[in-house]
Amino acid sequence: MTSRLVCVSNRVSLPRKASAPGGLAVGVLSALKHMGGMWFGWGGELSDEDPGEPTIQVRDGVTYALLNLRRDLFERYYNGFANEALWPLFHYMPTRFCYRHEDHDAYQEVNREFARKLLPLLKPDDLIWVHDYHLIPLASRLRELGVRTPIGFFLHIPFPYIETLRVLPTYVELVRDMMAYDLVGFQVQGDLRSFQASVERCLPEARIENAETIRIGQRTVGTGVFPIGVDVEAIQASAQRAWGSASVRRMVASLVGRKLIIGVDRLDYSKGLVERFAAYEQFLEVFPENRNHVTYLQIAPLSRKDVQSYAEIRHSLEQAAGRTNGRFADTDWTPIRYLNRNFPHETLMGFLRAAHVGLVTPLRDGMNLVAKEYLAAQDPNDPGVLVLSTMAGAAHELSSALLVNPYDSRAVVHAIQTALTMPLEERRERHAAMLETLRKNDIRSWAQRFVTRLRETSTWRSPRESLVSAVRARP
């Protein structure tokens, strides 16, 4: 019998058309739709009391198990430890790092709650796939409850080198928790090397046997690089449908023949938006012939509104957009259109297809699927040009993009100008090369490669035996 796939993430995203799903949600949904299974995680509701058991929904063959969380725990677990300690540290930004013991305690308690509520829903032959930095301790908590089924972990964000990770007071515990998994996956080779260096430093009893295995005690933990991709055909179809929609037609008409530069990013300091806005202002200074001939559309939906640093970046961007528009705008031209709202995914794909330049310049990013979506959405006969940060995981695959250091404003300025003036033949050649890579490493391939490795890697007891013992161990 084929094993059921159980995906676990901090947040479960029910399919809806109101907004574009993030990279994690796109990947999990794609895996479950093709393989079947259950998605377990927080459903978005908070409670002041014991939230009770998860609610179950079934949509399009996928089971969604939605867990409620206590309000006081969530604040410290999510806004506190996950996003004020782990997020900045994993993105190599220790100056934004903030550690509080009570936040770490809440992080551990929420992971225990996830394990307790997931346990009754498991079946003997399940494969469990845990996603991202919010749930690093989950395998350890499940093992404590007696679960011995295969458990894999995939980190969607970067993993820092040991000298950065050591800023975290509990870094040894974190590395040990990651070794409770059967398979640990990363976006790029550099993240895997950083993890191996951390294991060598933190766990002297562990032995790195090769690029794909670490031996600890009687167990072998699999490791690997699994760059997440996109559904190329689905994006192309969405972009083509959206091209004729009222929203996209209205946006294109409003350009009045001007070339469109586009950025689509969650509002986050790691995305390099402040630096990007400054580079665009400099671009209009250095290449004045572009004034009134290009429009920069930046879509940046709000995120983590309760974290102070995100309110600060929003204020900085509003000031930067206002300054640039105040300096260069004309009665019939606004240089920057800055929107703090989301759009349906199909509409976004239409916007990407319309753009002559895709501007993707994060200061640090695990992968960045917007870069891949931009390429997939393009018309191959007249494609736009991707300007991509070397600090994004996607740069390791998309070498035919115009690669820039996001801290080097002069390089970004000249890359934008190069993109706008690039001949059609060169644009086609670059786009075709990158599209071939996207098809080879698409979203389905990503999920299949990880799950196949997970099936092969488990060194715990048989799934059926493990679940029986776990049930007997329940209080």
**pLDDT of 341-363, one tens digit each?**
889 999 999 999 999 999 999 99
Q: Is the dihedral of CA 34, 40, 41, 42 positive or negative?
A: positive
The verdict on 248 and 199 lying in the same domain is no
Q: Are residues 243 and 381 in the same domain?
A: yes
Q: How far apart are CA 347 and CA 342, in angstroms?
A: 10
Residues 428 and 329 in one domain: yes
220 & 73 share domain: yes
Report how far residue 270's alpha carbon sits from residue 392's, in angstroms, rounded to the nearest whole number.
Answer: 10
- Candidates 126, 132, 268, 365; catalytic one: 365
Helix or strand (DSSP H, E) at 360: strand 357-360
Residues 76 and 177 in one domain: yes
Q: Which pair of tokens denotes residue 156? A: 């969607």
pLDDT of residue 20: 53
Widest pairwise Cα distance in the chain: 74
User: Mind giving me the DSSP string for 4-39?
Assistant: PEEEEEEE-----SSS---HHHHHHHHHHHHH-EEE
Q: Are 309 and 407 within one domain?
A: yes
Length of the chain: 475
CA torsion angle 395 398 404 407 (round to 10): -30
**In a shared domain, residues 262 and 158:** no
pLDDT in the model for residue 39: 96
Residues 252, 174 within the same domain:
no
* Domains of the chain: total: 2
pLDDT value, residue 469: 43
Query: Are 213 and 308 found together in one domain?
Result: no
Judgement on whether residues 253 and 353 belong to the same structural domain of the protein:
yes
Name residues of the chain where pLDDT drops below 70. 1, 16-23, 304-307, 458-475
Is 198 found in the same domain as 135?
yes
| Neighbouring C-beta atoms of residue 396, cutoff 10 Å | 15
Residues 444-456 pLDDT 10s = 999 999 999 999 8
Name the 3-class secondary structure at 43. Answer: strand
Q: At what angle do helices 232-243 and 246-255 cross, to 10 degrees?
A: 70
CATH code where residue 354 lies: 3.40.50.2000
Query: Rounded CA gap, 463 and 454, in Å?
Result: 13
Q: Which of the residues 156, 345, 356, 431 is marked catalytic? A: 156
pTM over 0.95: no
Model pLDDT, residue 26: 77
The pLDDT tens digits of the residues spanning 375-402 come to: 999 999 999 999 999 999 999 999 999 9
> Strands 219-225 and 213-216: what pairing?
antiparallel
Domain range for 244 = 232-440
396: three-class secondary structure by DSSP = helix
Residue 365 annotated in active site: yes
What pLDDT does 87 receive?
A: 97
Say whether both 38 and 69 belong to one domain: yes
